Amino acid sequence: MKPLIEKLTLSENTSFVARTYRTPNFEVPWHQHNEYELILILEGLGTAFVGDYIGDFSAGDIFFLAPNLPHTFQKAGDVITSAVVIQFPDDFWGNTLINLPEGVAVKNLLLAARQGLKIPDSYREKMASIIRELENQQRFARYISLFQCLHIMAESGDYLSLSSREPETGGPVIQEEIDLILRYTNSNFQNKISLREAAAVVNMSVAAFCKYFRRSTKKTYIDYLNEIRIGYACKLLKDTSKSVIEICFESGFHTLANFNKQFLKYKSITPSSFRRMVKHTSVQFAMDCDNRVLSEKVS
């Protein structure tokens, strides 16, 4: 058994990678690498795993990850998924540039990225435009565009930290068994999954499996499974008109009481309140857009 460590592949004319990966090349198992990674999701949706973080991803999302932070992006079902991926080494700017007084904000950004960052809507569109252009740029223009992205993130200071744990520096800790478990759970979470069934995927006893999973992810398998189910339930509450009870069973829960209990635990809100909140947010966003267009026409 060998840990999966991704290697940066560069051409002779480039110092960092900027490339679009599309299904099936988008699907990469649980892994880590020695480079920073900036990811723009172009199409598709699924579940992001970053350190011990589990959450949704969809088209337009942008993530920024530090070196050696384990991660994978698992697509939902048979959807086509793609992303522009930018990878650059941690010594990209040499020993001087990042330590200049003007580099303080970027230096703080890089430290924050050790937990993985998700970029908010407020400046996501501006960054997405730069990232798309960067892939096809040549020579120093690539360098400038990358620093534009770093500058936007650093100066705003507005981003969501993902993982509660930082990368471990004592050597690779990513193992093939974790990827098998993630893939199995992502494909079967809507069904009943016992600890015995999950342990059988990696040929372990239940006791050994529970200990291994907690050591690797800093959470129990049941917590992980419930997070996947709640994340899927959130999608259904937001994007469909299905009833709460229908969503409960479709998400893998077997009683409405447990569904409500787990939803409140992970989201600090009830499913019904969550639905009202996201519907209100969507309506408000549409009204703001209409008002902005009207204002531009008047001016």
Model-wide pTM > 0.85: no
Q: Which two tokens stand for residue 112?
A: 């924050």
pLDDT tens, position by position, 164-175: 766 655 444 445
Report the CATH number at residue 191.
1.10.10.60
Does 298 fall in a domain? no
Total domains present in the chain: 2
In contact, 162 and 66? CB cutoff 8 Å: no
Beta strands in the chain (DSSP E): 5-6, 17-22, 32-33, 35-43, 45-50, 53-58, 62-65, 71-75, 82-89, 117-118, 160-161
Look at strands 160-161 and 117-118 and give their pairing: antiparallel
Give pLDDT, residue 258: 95
Does 150 fall in a domain? yes
Domain that holds residue 241: 176-277
Secondary structure of residue 166 in the 3-state scheme: coil
Q: Is the pLDDT of residue 299 over 50?
A: no
pLDDT tens, position by position, 173-223: 445 787 788 878 888 899 999 999 999 999 999 999 999 888 877 789 999
Does 205 fall in a domain? yes
Nearest CA among 217, 229, 210, 199 for reference residue 71 = 217
* 134 and 188 in a common domain: no
**Cα gap 179→185, rounded to integer Å:** 10
Does 142 fall in a domain? yes
